[in-house]
Amino acid sequence: MSKSKILNRIRQRRVKRTRAKIFGRVDLPRLSVFRSNRLIYAQLIDDEKGHTLAQASSRELKESERRGKKAEQAALVGALIGKKASELGIKRCVLDRRHYRYHGRIKELAEAVRKAGLKI
């Protein structure tokens, strides 16, 4: 088996292990984070109904904001999702970081969400 297939299997196991412990509700939604090489996405999800309550991504940022570093973009996306959550009346959420380490862009997004008033 190739090295990339082995790494993908390890990643998938890590995702399943993380998701087994996290479940979102209406009063305590799951903040799911996806990160690609270029963009970052965040969603507030109610797992009971299977609905996305709010979403934000770096695609929504202005062109001038997208020219900055990726960590700065992640912080702006975190502030945006925090603002949308406060408009919906959501005060708390559970962070689902998938297989990503709490480091770099994921950490910046989570800290910006906290600054926006959401408790993780």
pLDDT of 37 over the 90 cut: yes
pLDDT of 27 over the 90 cut: no
CA–CA distance, 96 with 86 (Å, rounded to integer): 19
Yes or no: say if 106 and 34 are a contact pair by the CB < 8 Å rule: no
On whether the pTM is more than 0.85, the answer is: yes
Q: For 3-115, CATH number?
A: 3.30.420.100
Query: Which residue(s) pair with 43 in the sheet?
Result: 32, 55
Per-residue confidence band for 67, with pLDDT thresholds at 50, 70 and 90? confident
- pLDDT of 66 reads 86
- Find, among 11, 52, 16, the residue nearest to 31 by Cα: 52
Yes or no: say if 98 and 34 are a contact pair by the CB < 8 Å rule: yes
